[in-house]
Amino acid sequence: MTRFVPTIAITAALVLSACSTGTSSAPTTTDPGPTSESTSTASQACQDLASDTAQAHGDRVFVEAGGTLYAVNSVRGLPNNRVIVATSVDQPDLVGYPQVQFLSECAGDELTLLGGYVPIDGNFELLFTTEEGSAAGDVPMIAP
């Protein structure tokens, strides 16, 4: 059996060298890298939808703070068709925080809430994730 090992190694080397293309000695890779779909920034339509639904997100998440208004301060498009909406809260004593940021993801004409951030020690830290956010598995602990 040991007599065949050098033969197999030589055959494998010949096959691999015959399969290589070009003159570069750099290794080839099959990783296509990021696609435009996975790294595209949220569209303006997605950002507008996120802004329009900020109040509904606040009402749904902070049910016990009924009547609270979530005023949109800013909307930022993020990679991977995500968007973050920064809001100010008119009744922080009911919500527990003066500001809330909602992280959402767009897919077609639909917006999915992934999580929310609140100010803690100078950062906006993750307060909650939705079921969809947990399933995504990549909701950051600090607001993007």
Q: Are 54 and 102 in contact (CB under 8 A)?
A: yes
- The reported pLDDT for the residue numbered 11 is 36
Distances (CA, A) of 9 to 12, 26, 39, 96: 5, 21, 42, 68
CA distance 83 to 44: 10
- The reported pLDDT for the residue numbered 42 is 87
- The reported pLDDT for the residue numbered 39 is 63
- The reported pLDDT for the residue numbered 109 is 87
> What pTM was estimated for this model as a whole?
0.72
CA distance 2 to 67: 81
Per-10-residue mean pLDDT for the chain, 144 residues long? 38 38 40 46 93 97 94 96 97 96 94 97 96 94 95
Q: Show the domains of the chain with their CATH numbers.
A: 36-136 (3.10.450)
Instruction: Give the number of other Cβ atoms within 10 Å of residue 40's Cβ.
Output: 15
- The reported pLDDT for the residue numbered 79 is 94
